[in-house]
Copies of this chain bind each other. A is one copy, B any other.
Amino acid sequence: MLQHIHQSQLSNWERFYRANFINSLSGFKSAALIGTINEAGITNLAIFSNIVHIGADPSLIGFINRPKAAAPHTLQNIEHNKVYTINSIPAGMIEKAHQTSAKYNDNISEFDAVGLTPHFLPSVLAPFVEESPVKYALELVEIVPITHNNTFLVIGTITDVLVPSQLIASDGFIELHKADVVTTLGIDAYFGTQPLGRFSYAKPNQPLATI
């Protein structure tokens, strides 16, 4: 039965029920680990699920960072170094990835705490996740404050990509499903994917072709 839920009901719901509901309503999302390093040289790793493609030329990727009080370390490190990595999560890594959301003290590296391996490139002042099949480094472009709820849209441009060549299709598409990269829904659910199809550029009055 199709239920009609009005704004006034939403705002009266118990906090965690509402968070589960609203977080899953907007659909499947990218889940990835953001790697940074602090002034003392301690690596930080945190799972983020609100990553958004902003543009391909220049390459701009954004993510939503929660209010500073709730999630300070990643944003502090990015503000300081202007550099961070985004690392994909394959199905076998979901438990470790989820565990990075625990509030560890800032003298503890989540890499050690959850059992993942930092990997460095000489030119990038942020750790990659060795075990992630696809990963990329970004240089900070802008932090846009979203005043309505004290969150931030953090925008970066891609400086380095590490990707297995066999995942790159002839037209540049990256077949992330072949590396078992997951998608996420709501606050805490992880999903595998299976391809349904790719379609050609759509034009009025012209049937789509599959790619």
Contact = CB atoms under 8 A, between A and B. Distances in A.
Contacts of A199: 94-95, 98, 188, 190
A26 B98 contact: no
A17 B172 contact: yes
Contacts of A168: 3, 21
Categorize the interface residue count of chain A. Answer: 35 or more
A62 to B, nearest CB: 8
A149 B5 contact: no
B54 A64 contact: yes
Interface in A158-211: 158-166, 168-169, 171-174, 176-177, 181-183, 185-186, 188-204, 206, 208, 211
A152 to B, nearest CB: 10
Interface stretch (A37-45, A77-85, A101-109): A101-109
Contacts of A102: 202-204, 206
B10 A181 contact: no
Given A25-B136, A27-B51, A144-B153, A191 B164 contact: no
Interface of A: 1-7, 10-11, 13, 15-32, 49-62, 64, 86, 88, 91, 94-95, 98-104, 108, 113, 121, 134, 136, 141-142, 144, 146, 148-149, 151, 153, 155, 157-166, 168-169, 171-174, 176-177, 181-183, 185-186, 188-204, 206, 208, 211
